[in-house]
Structure 1
Amino acid sequence: MVALGGAVGALLRYSASRIWRNGSDASLLWHQGMAAFPWTTLLVNVVGCFLMGVLAVALKERFTGAPRLLNPMLGTGVLGGFTTFSSYSDDTRRLIENGQPLTAVGYLLLTAAACMAGIVLGVALTRLALTGGGTEAHREGGGR
């Protein structure tokens, strides 16, 4: 199941790279040269982290009776296949080799911060949606 999820995630990642591709004439949105900022990888990783936050809360707090393999299939499989640490690393290397070390450092830091923000936002928004706008304490009258 994890491998099947990974295949789905990899296909989604490939599709995203075809739609919004760094340094490719095949880009459907716009062409970016080899020295361009790696927006595709950043976007894919942030979206993947956001969805991981959604998944974590949804399976733990809402769909507690879901099949045990659903979390590894969707989390490790689909989202693991969709996100990409290797492209993140290679994009950083490429920026450095193209004489853009400050951009590379900025990319490293921005990706880490944006991915963390993505997962935190995914968790928070999912909890908000599942509780109807408040925490358990608020709904039971124990919150402020």
Structure 2
Amino acid sequence: MTPGAPAPRLLAAVAVGGAVGALARWGLTEAFPADADAFPWAIFAINVAGSFVLALLPAFGAVRRRRALAVALGPGVLGGFTTLSAYSEQSRALLDHGRTGLAVTYLVGTVAACLLAVTVADRWTRQGGDE
């Protein structure tokens, strides 16, 4: 193994977690599809929920103590679950359909909601989490 390279078990944890997260995202977008000219609620909810949970992870002692669990859940599951590419594409589609106001609302609203979710989760995490 190259010095500084991640252990194979950590790479596997990220890969498996990423597959799980991507499948969960795909399942939700299939269950709640968005028209190209409508607000993409599924991806909005996925990104906000993913931001919240990612910021909440440090509250859990098991995640802090087990590196493999931290990378499986963080960059793995939540990295596969959340999506900048779909967010960007759906914004482009709204603009393409002449829905400029809705596109701007989606772009700004997603960032604002994700930041609010992270702020709330961070406060919960700072209040102690489980020890």
TM range (shorter): 0.7 to 0.9
CA deviation string 1:63-119 (max 9, x = no partner): 376222221111001000000100000010000000011211111110001001111
In structure 1, distance between residues paired with 2:73 and 2:127: 22
Looking at structure 1, the residues matched to 24 and 58 of structure 2 have their Cα atoms a distance apart, in angstroms, of 20
- What is the root-mean-square deviation of aligned Cα atoms in Å? 1.8
Matched position secondary structure for 1:130? coil
Name segments (4+ residues, structure 1) moved above 3 Å. 126-129
Which residue does the alignment assign to 1:13? 25
Give the alignment's TM-score, normalised by structure 1: 0.75
Q: Give the TM-score normalised by structure 2.
A: 0.81
| 2:57 aligned with 1:45 | no
Structure 2 Cα separation of the partners of residues 65 and 90 of structure 1: 35
Superposition map of 1:61-140 within 5 A: 62-63=61-62, 66-128=65-127, 130=129
Which stretches in structure 2 are left out of the alignment for 5+ residues?
1-12
| CA distances 1:31-69 after superposition (whole Å, capped 9, x unpaired) | xxx3111111100000000100111332xxx33762222
Count of aligned pairs between the two proteins = 118
AA of the residue aligned to 2:67: R
User: Whose RCO is larger (CA < 8 A, sep 6+)?
Assistant: 2
Equivalent residue number for residue 6 of structure 2: none
Identity of paired residues, percent?
40
More helix by share: 2
5+ unaligned residues in a row in structure 1: which ranges? 24-33, 132-144
